[in-house]
Structure 1
Amino acid sequence: MHDDQALTMGRVTRVLAERLRPAIHSDPRPLDLAAHVVDGEPIPVAEGLGAEYAPMAVGDRWGRAWGTTWLRLTGEVPASFAGRRVEIVADLGFDVNMPGFQAEGLVYTPGGEPVRSLNPRAQWIPVSPAARGGEAIEFFVEAASNPVLLDYHPFLPTEEGDVLTSGDEELYRVRRVDVCVFEQEVFELVHDVEVLHQLAAELPEESARRAKILRALNAALNRVDLQDVAGTAAAGREELREVLASPAEPSAHRITAVGHAHIDSAWLWPLRETVRKVARTSSSMATLIDEDDEFVYAMSSAQQYAWMKRDRPEVFARVKQAVAAGRFVPVGGMWVESDAVLPSGESLVRQISQGQRFFKEEFGIECRGAWLPDSFGYSGALPQILSGAGYEWFLTQKISWNQVNRFPHHTFLWEGIDGSRIFTHFPPMDTYNSQLSGEEVARAARQFKEKSVARHSLAPTGWGDGGGGTTREMLARAKRLANLEGSPQVSFGTPDDFFERAKAELPDPGVWRGELYLELHRGTFTTQHRMKQGNRTSERLLAEAELWAASAAVRAGRDYPYEELDALWQEVLLLQFHDILPGTSIAWVHREARERYERVATSLRRIIADSLQALGAAGEADGLDAAPVGERLAVNAAPFPRRGVPAASVAPAGPAAPVSARAEGDGFVLQSEAARVEIDGSGHVRSLIDLDSGRDAVAPGRAGNVLQLHQDFPNMWDAWDVDAFYAGMRDDLDGPADVSLDGDAVVVRRKFGESSIEQRLTLADDGRLLVIDCDVDWREEEKFLKLAFPVAVFTDEVVAETQFGYHRRANHANTSWEAARFETHAQRWFLVREPGFGVAFLNESSHGFDVARESAGRDVVQNARFSLLRAPRFPDPRADRGRHRMRFGVLAGATVESATEAGWALQSPLRAATGAAVPALATSKDPAVVVSAVKLADDRSGDLVVRLYESTGSRAATAIALTGFEAGRVVAADLLERPGEPIATEPTADGVLVPVTLRPFEVATLRIAR
């Protein structure tokens, strides 16, 4: 019996591939083809339609890498096609296994109306649902010849990832352009057979249901004449009617299919190509919505809608109409599907506020849930941010990619660092590109962790990453799987519909506490350092620009630059996309991102300077030493006082703590009243003493500031991954170095491999923080550079700053969950501490780090290491090579409070200015409560908005001082600045005090009328 079943399965496989599917389009008649090759970047649609075209033939080659070729397809519907559905089949050289990763096009009518995408999984163009015969045919295709970069498996380096280095060879050859009859009955037969065949493959061999299906399939194929498929398809379908009509079990798992195309805003293509990918896919989905009453499509990312509105208004008009009908559903409410661990808390808030504002203004809706299927891990601060912005649910599936541990839930409550919870779902299908195959739907039912108490899951359905979206083939599968014995039940619906059902059937879900750490893609905390540095600099300058622009508006009546700040925020938010900021895109993307960061910084520095000038504090300079003697003012944008300058103020700066640097014995000493640092002749830190406690942070017999070089060749995802075995190959760069004094700094120069580094070791102006300025000329390949500091602290956890607070992570490997966290991330600092003493490690722009517990006799040493640079070769063959400036700090005797303050100080240096002092608009009376943003309200009412958070993990009762302006009504607001309950204030001589009570790590927003 089993042999008979195997024969039937094999028979169906071959007949489907070689006879049934090719018969869906019959009677092909060639069309005339002409081409217009664009010289350079894409041209407007109107220009493409009106261009001069040269004859082209099937078999001709076309398309250099990243090029655009406009194709014109002309001909006539044959008279014999009258009364039939007529379509064009156009194969431009596609590989059906690479949708979204190669050539694709957008089809237009001569009048400029978008029709649909032409791509490897949708090679057809509708001509007429019921032709008369004799109609003229004319279509235009804007065809993009994007190179196939993933075809270089196992991801070998390629120069095709940048238009500046790609080759001139034409990459594709036209295979066919024919007008055909679409055989509806054959199409239906194909999907009857395919769905049953796939279902049978998932059923046990001993199953009676499987035997009946295979018997019916055999009977159906016996009725189909393979030389006349169209004429006998109906007879074949009749043999399958009974097995297709058998209903699903009452307890069958239920899947809500949501049409989807997870389009990466940049990855193996540049940003400008994503604009076209979005237009192609959206056009196809609008057409599919017109053709199928049950289909619902969801798309995230306000940026992608904004691109369509700006560059493809003809497509956007169709989308807007479908949104109004409830069939094209904006989801996620964010500007892009951003990285969810590297951006600051304020950036994540703005991802939501900018996205939700766009959707509200364009479509009159606000999204109810967050949609981040593919980001590389999720901060424990996110539940508070999402719920604080009004979200009801969260969706991702990326944690299914874990290398080691299977996550214990699919539908659950996710609890963040502050105790906030949000209803969360992981699709058990383990993909955001579902095709609704039998294997996928069976996997969803089999893996669903909550199956004993619930039966619903969600399936994002459609070709994604590079776009394409849902196909009519997927819709055909869904119709057959709606109520089919042996299979989960599938129906299309909206994400909100699914979450309402999931909440109703699971009133008491399980709880996951803390971050959703992805056991994969750990290299993204470090790869492409300039992305991290550009983002961090932009975030700092945006906060400063808003602070001083708000101050100038409130105090000097200067117009607040709403439009410019919105545009700059949107630029930075775009670059936080989860394949840009993590450093996993092609060279073109990162080259362009570096240029964009420079433009952003230039614009923000101008806004800051103009705002300060309006306040009477002119002459901004980068360092205090640039200010003229006698007119020494300092601009302090940080939320903590420095050098006697109050937080968020301009005031005279006091002197820096006296620091001496001297040679001593065979080494050097940096000394202040608070710290003593001993550096040997190799440039290594032998001692770092906190003079208040007398404790030496450096472990006995060990040395800090040791550069370590690892082989870095992961199993698969070069730019993404650091695999655990990297630690097995390590070179300590402890050989001779050129070490010398330069003023109050010790300078260490070292060469290694093809690279070199110059470090300046100084004590910061508070005399406590050891600052290590690194100037690295990085020329290695497939190497990982670390900077190690073994410290004498007894602890089994590491505290690491995250958005609006911190994470606690075990630094042992008792379980597989802890062992998998061998490389982690922080915002500005991480801290190892024991009662009474801690050591904080600060970064200016580098997120990755690790801390290993090492035995030293009866003592335990924490070997803390910054991750400096990587050198992967795919997808950017020269990632990170070149010159880098980076700063790090080590603070002995640290607490969470002092680490937080020092982290802000390292990131936000004082600036020099001349003129008048400027008092702060808003300051916290409790240093544990950090004022993280001061701005004017997005709604342009003129209200002042102040964001603050509790930073230490304790309860706080404090007051926010508002000074220097006449404050009106004060209300608590949510993260989208929507007003809530009023707050009573207490008048002072120069303003008001606003009492604030916060939970541990709570984020609060005050809205102040003027």
Structure 2
Amino acid sequence: MHDNVVQVEQRVGNTIRDHVTPALFIRTAPVGITAWEVPDEPVPFAEAVNQDFEPFEVGTPWSRPWGTTWFHVTGSVPQDWGREGSAVQLFVDLGFSPLLPAFQAEGLAYRPDGTIIKGIEPFNRVVDVDGTSVDLYVEAASNPNMLEHFFASAPAAAAGGMAAALPGTLAPVARPHAARLGSKTTAGSEPIYTLRSLMLVERDLEVDALLADVTVLTGLMRELEPTLPRRAEILRALEAMCDTIDPDDVRGSAAAARKQLAGVLGAPAHSSAHSIVAVGHAHLDSAWLWPTRETVRKCARTFSNVLDLMDADPEFTFACSSAQQFAWVKEYYPDLFERIRVRVAEGRFVPVGGMWVESDTNMPGGEALVRQFVHGQGFFQREFGLLSREAWLPDSFGFTASLPQIARSAGTDSFLTQKMSWNDTNKMPHHTFWWEGIDGSRIFTHFPPNDTYGSDLGAADLAKAQRQYAEKGASNVSMTLFGWYDGGGGPTREMIAAARRTRDLEGSPRVTLGSPGDFFAEAKATLTRPEVWTGEMYLETHRGTYTSQARTKLGNRRSEHLLREAELWSATAAVRGLLDYPYEQLDAIWHTVLLQQFHDILPGSAIAWVHDEAEENYRRVGEELEGLIAAAQSALAGDGDATVVFNAAPVADGGVPALGASVGQEVPPAVTPVAVDGGHVLENGRISARFDAAGLLVSLVDTESGRDLVPPGEAAALLQVFRDKPVMFEAWDIDRSYANTVTELREAASIRIDGDALAVTRTHVDSEVVQRFRLAAGAHELQVETAVDWHEQEKLLKLAFPVDVRADQFASEIQFGHVMRPTFANTSWDAARFETVAHRWVHVGEPGFGVVVANASTYGHDVTRTTRDDGGTTTRIRQSLLRAPKFPDPDADQGTHVFHTTIGFAPTVLEAAAAGYRLNLPARGVRGNPANAVDPIVAVSSPSVLVESVKLAEDRSGDLVVRLYEARGSRTSVTVGLGTPFSSASRTDLLERELGEQVWGADETIGLELRPFEIATLRVRV
């Protein structure tokens, strides 16, 4: 062997580049091309093929950004083509870039009868041709490659997600242009692609196999230590291959060249080699840098590619999450869906996740997260006769501590993600382990150790998995997901060829094509004592997603609470025979809301088109739900002129019964502000709020204890503006450095009494903020309305509440409970958690005294503490209200917003929970019959047990379903009373399936023993 290893490697590379690759196609032949450009939005096949197609030539530009052009391709296969050892294919290059293959032009090939053949992607450019002629249509989508515009260069890295594909050394360029492409109205009308190639090719299968052999061996050689004999053997074989290849007759010498490699390819792996179960995947974002309408087409392209591979390889298995994507295919591509159904029955096209979409898990409310599984698993059960066993969220931005209980109670027993490998400070200690939630539920969890959901099964990825696997010695198996990702595409024949060659190869992990179930069965059998991770899995990046796109977040929060009301009052009226329950309408609304909880929509990290559509959907959903609520309440209240006050909160408010309504009970009015001593005061007998001459809240006193919540010299409800220029991902990240520059808005442009509110106007550069402070009679909290006309760029607006409380921890509401987080930073884990998520409230307290800050649409918070000169402690609670990132939406958060916050006294987390409900579910006054007081449909005996949902059963049986949970974090006994006669009641899982553990007859008291934060679902036959 040549002594110069580097020279030999270069020789191999040159041989492949200059001789072998050019010999892949034996011959080419032209085809006839005609085209029709769709005037606006995409149209179905049947409509497209009936249009007037015009002659089209290779080298001609086609379609504007977000446009569609249909190509009709015809031709004859030359008679001497397709001999043994070759394949005839149509080769398509729509003008592809080698960068980021799932983010650009794509195509879908159809037969003349409208059946789908396969997708056409940048790294999957061929369509097999059977017979002697070609007659097919290609629906070509000119989707702009926004990331290519945004970054100066970006390798097409086969790694999970944007971080791997876009290393930190890349320089942002042309951001305004990239961002303009995110909306149809600003993207322009000039073509952005040129048809580069459309022709028949004859592929040499032996040369194709040689390329696959060399790719695997050169990759493996680079991963081996230079001193290992195995590396030298591979290098020698590759050099012999180069000697054997005849540059003047590559095809004639390819078989002999492959024989030179057969020995090293046939050497078996070591007995201790890591075992990898390789699962085909295509992590397809339901929206991101493209709208949902394009995701529908991406599903067809990707899934047809997968089916094409399954036809060619009987062992290939593909895992697909998101019932929504299956539902889209069923609706828009029914023939394709039926082909998928066949493969699902075979166990090869595997529905995973059990959710409607791969949602965010930080911000969806508890019931919404449950419904992700209810609707996802329900779809899988109806359409395929199965339930997913694997919860599957490879790319969501951190994971709530409520998820183990929810996922387990929804039929899954395993969980997969890789996103925690993105942590910017601390490394997660395990790859396969038990994850324990706030209630004690555990779910078997796996992180693919190659840190990706889009492997190419190359040697570098496989070696990384073996090198990084944390459970070495205890277990030796991991899973890898392979296929082009984010924008879809999925696995390729080249990837499967790599898997075949690494099934049992010395120096490499053993790779087996398999299913998620195959992996989890082996992992559970071999890892007999997994380690345990307890509590939330906080992602140490993407902290800005709790705040970006405030309108989308407001729409989500409001929709969730309107759905609660619509279901509660509709169910109450239905079981009392007053109206029919609107099953179908509620299902459709839930599907819209659940889709928009996808992990690039609700977090605010999608293009303008996506968020514009989301806001319109929320507006429509709001109108529909208000109509349902009004109809149900009208039926319950009856005809009359009395005020019937309906309360949908699970806690009493101003004497209104929980989950019921009373007659003659008015919604409490607000007290009037009073001007005193150069400032203003709001008092209601419980709270006294004092504002100074600048309109700053400088005192908030609990009149019973006399304790002032505001620390000396501080101001609460203080507006702060920070510079917000994250190093990498603008809409996603808030970097720690944001806190280094702050402007406090202490000066008032005006202060006035506006009806029942004290209105204070402040300005900052081009923005204006009007804060209105109100205090209702008898209320526990001061109301703060913050109306913002926001025109800043790359700024962060926070609302700060310093409080005179010494607290080591603060409680943040999450789904079905709360988590405790430290107010200090002793460790790197503490320090990395500098921006956190909470739902309706945050609570800090000392024994017997506490403070709640509640919100109606805000998720991002930070809570810290400092010691004052007087020895006291100031704990500072801040809500993150608005951001102003430029990418991917340059107008993110621009314009008007209204935020609702309350601050008040709450000794415990239960009082804090009550404040959150009061703000988000205010009582409604309806005109009705004074004889029609509406008794609660559900009542519970314990103040720590809250009713989360009241609805009718998913199976349309008319059974009443009640979901409740323990909210304090303590073991509790509770009885449940029902405001309607019933024949029996039973405990179910979240999918409303009988557990067989607890059943009650009509004359029995429904009693439950709940562990801390336990969720209980009751099914009642009325």
**Which of the five TM-score ranges fits, normalised by the shorter chain?**
over 0.9
* 2:648 matched residue in structure 1: 637
Q: 1:723 to 1:909 in 2, by over 3 A?
A: same
Q: Which of 992, 997, 1000 is the equivalent residue of 1:977?
A: 992
The correspondence of residues 691-840 of structure 1 with structure 2, limited to 5 A, is 691-840=703-852
Q: Are positions 1:31 and 2:31 aligned together?
A: yes
Identify the range of structure 1 (355-364 vs 976-985) with the bigger mean alpha-carbon deviation: 976-985
**Do the aligned residues in 2 keep the contact of 1:689 with 1:892 (CA within 8 Å)?**
no
Secondary structure at the aligned position of 2:926 is classed as: strand
Tell me the amino acid that sits aligned with residue 917 of structure 1.
Answer: A
* 2:446 matched residue in structure 1: 425
Deviations 1:40-65 (A, max 9, x none): 00011111223221111111111200
**Do the aligned residues in 1 keep the contact of 2:986 with 2:1000 (CA within 8 Å)?**
no
Q: 1:771 to 1:24 in 2, by over 3 A?
A: same
Q: Distance in 1 between matches of 2:636 and 2:446?
A: 50
| 1:520 to partner: Cα distance | 0.5
The correspondence of residues 448-847 of structure 1 with structure 2, limited to 5 A, is 448-617=469-638, 631-652=642-663, 653=665, 656=668, 659-847=671-859
Q: Are positions 1:932 and 2:964 aligned together?
A: no
Q: Distance in 2 between matches of 1:981 and 1:860?
A: 52
Q: Are positions 1:276 and 2:288 aligned together?
A: no
Q: Which of 135, 143, 147 is the equivalent residue of 1:146?
A: 143
* 1:874 matched residue in structure 2: 887
Secondary structure at the aligned position of 1:35 is classed as: strand
Secondary structure at the aligned position of 1:873 is classed as: coil
* 1:104 matched residue in structure 2: 106
| 1:12 to partner: Cα distance | 2.5
* 1:58 matched residue in structure 2: 58
Tell me the amino acid that sits aligned with residue 740 of structure 1.
Answer: R
Q: Distance in 1 between matches of 2:17 and 2:969?
A: 61
* 1:623 matched residue in structure 2: none
Secondary structure at the aligned position of 1:688 is classed as: strand
* 1:122 matched residue in structure 2: 124
| 1:227 to partner: Cα distance | 3.5
| 1:2 to partner: Cα distance | 10
Tell me the amino acid that sits aligned with residue 114 of structure 2.
Answer: G
| 1:362 to partner: Cα distance | 0.7
| 1:552 to partner: Cα distance | 1.2
Q: 1:790 to 1:212 in 2, by over 3 A?
A: same
Q: Distance in 1 between matches of 2:17 and 2:140?
A: 27
* 1:234 matched residue in structure 2: 255
Aligned residues: 991
Identify the range of structure 1 (225-234 vs 244-253) with the bigger mean alpha-carbon deviation: 225-234
Secondary structure at the aligned position of 1:678 is classed as: strand
Q: Distance in 2 between matches of 1:757 and 1:498?
A: 55
Q: Distance in 1 between matches of 2:22 and 2:551?
A: 50
Q: Distance in 2 between matches of 1:900 and 1:654?
A: 23
| 1:658 to partner: Cα distance | 7.4
Q: 1:101 to 1:995 in 2, by over 3 A?
A: same
Q: Distance in 2 between matches of 1:491 and 1:352?
A: 30
* 1:372 matched residue in structure 2: 393
| 1:985 to partner: Cα distance | 5.2
| 1:20 to partner: Cα distance | 2.5
* 1:625 matched residue in structure 2: none
**Do the aligned residues in 2 keep the contact of 1:23 with 1:229 (CA within 8 Å)?**
yes
Secondary structure at the aligned position of 2:875 is classed as: strand
Secondary structure at the aligned position of 2:761 is classed as: strand
| 1:987 to partner: Cα distance | 7.2
Give the TM-score, by structure 2 length: 0.95
Q: Which of 116, 134, 137 is the equivalent residue of 1:137?
A: 134
**Do the aligned residues in 1 keep the contact of 2:983 with 2:1001 (CA within 8 Å)?**
no
Identify the range of structure 1 (995-1004 vs 633-642) with the bigger mean alpha-carbon deviation: 633-642
Secondary structure at the aligned position of 1:391 is classed as: coil
* 1:81 matched residue in structure 2: 81
Q: Distance in 2 between matches of 1:618 and 1:356?
A: 42
Q: Distance in 2 between matches of 1:660 and 1:313?
A: 62
Q: Are positions 1:959 and 2:975 aligned together?
A: yes
Q: 1:470 to 1:987 in 2, by over 3 A?
A: closer
The correspondence of residues 898-937 of structure 1 with structure 2, limited to 5 A, is 898-915=911-928, 916-937=932-953
| 1:98 to partner: Cα distance | 2.1
Tell me the amino acid that sits aligned with residue 805 of structure 1.
Answer: G
Give the TM-score, by structure 1 length: 0.96
**Do the aligned residues in 1 keep the contact of 2:645 with 2:667 (CA within 8 Å)?**
no
* 1:624 matched residue in structure 2: none
Q: 1:617 to 1:888 in 2, by over 3 A?
A: farther
Q: Which of 325, 330, 353 is the equivalent residue of 2:346?
A: 325
Tell me the amino acid that sits aligned with residue 95 of structure 1.
Answer: S
**Do the aligned residues in 1 keep the contact of 2:400 with 2:537 (CA within 8 Å)?**
yes
Q: 1:358 to 1:528 in 2, by over 3 A?
A: same
Q: Distance in 1 between matches of 2:843 and 2:639?
A: 38
Tell me the amino acid that sits aligned with residue 51 of structure 1.
Answer: Q
* 1:394 matched residue in structure 2: 415
| 1:982 to partner: Cα distance | 6.0
**Do the aligned residues in 2 keep the contact of 1:335 with 1:352 (CA within 8 Å)?**
yes
Tell me the amino acid that sits aligned with residue 92 of structure 1.
Answer: L
| 1:792 to partner: Cα distance | 1.2
Deviations 1:378-408 (A, max 9, x none): 0000001011112110000000000111100
Q: Distance in 2 between matches of 1:39 and 1:470?
A: 32
Tell me the amino acid that sits aligned with residue 112 of structure 1.
Answer: G
Deviations 1:92-114 (A, max 9, x none): 10013221100001000111111
Q: 1:356 to 1:862 in 2, by over 3 A?
A: same
Q: Distance in 2 between matches of 1:598 and 1:221?
A: 66
**Do the aligned residues in 2 keep the contact of 1:643 with 1:654 (CA within 8 Å)?**
no
* Gap regions ≥5 residues in structure 2: 152-171
Q: Are positions 1:997 and 2:1004 aligned together?
A: no
Secondary structure at the aligned position of 1:161 is classed as: coil
Tell me the amino acid that sits aligned with residue 526 of structure 1.
Answer: T
Q: Distance in 1 between matches of 2:667 and 2:217?
A: 80
Secondary structure at the aligned position of 2:283 is classed as: coil
Deviations 1:620-644 (A, max 9, x none): xxxxxxxx6xx22211111112122
Q: 1:148 to 1:924 in 2, by over 3 A?
A: same
**Do the aligned residues in 1 keep the contact of 2:862 with 2:879 (CA within 8 Å)?**
yes
Deviations 1:12-51 (A, max 9, x none): 3333344333432221112121111000000111112232
Q: Distance in 1 between matches of 2:584 and 2:670?
A: 45
Q: Distance in 1 between matches of 2:526 and 2:962?
A: 40
**Do the aligned residues in 2 keep the contact of 1:106 with 1:117 (CA within 8 Å)?**
yes
RMSD of aligned Cα (Å): 1.5
**Do the aligned residues in 2 keep the contact of 1:683 with 1:737 (CA within 8 Å)?**
no
**Do the aligned residues in 2 keep the contact of 1:62 with 1:171 (CA within 8 Å)?**
yes
Secondary structure at the aligned position of 1:954 is classed as: coil
Q: Distance in 2 between matches of 1:32 and 1:257?
A: 40
Q: 1:657 to 1:541 in 2, by over 3 A?
A: closer
Q: Distance in 2 between matches of 1:880 and 1:351?
A: 27
Q: Distance in 1 between matches of 2:190 and 2:888?
A: 20
Identify the range of structure 1 (790-799 vs 20-29) with the bigger mean alpha-carbon deviation: 20-29
| 1:569 to partner: Cα distance | 0.6
**Do the aligned residues in 1 keep the contact of 2:684 with 2:777 (CA within 8 Å)?**
no
Deviations 1:552-575 (A, max 9, x none): 110025211111111111110001
**Do the aligned residues in 1 keep the contact of 2:670 with 2:756 (CA within 8 Å)?**
no
Q: Distance in 2 between matches of 1:893 and 1:180?
A: 74
Secondary structure at the aligned position of 1:85 is classed as: strand
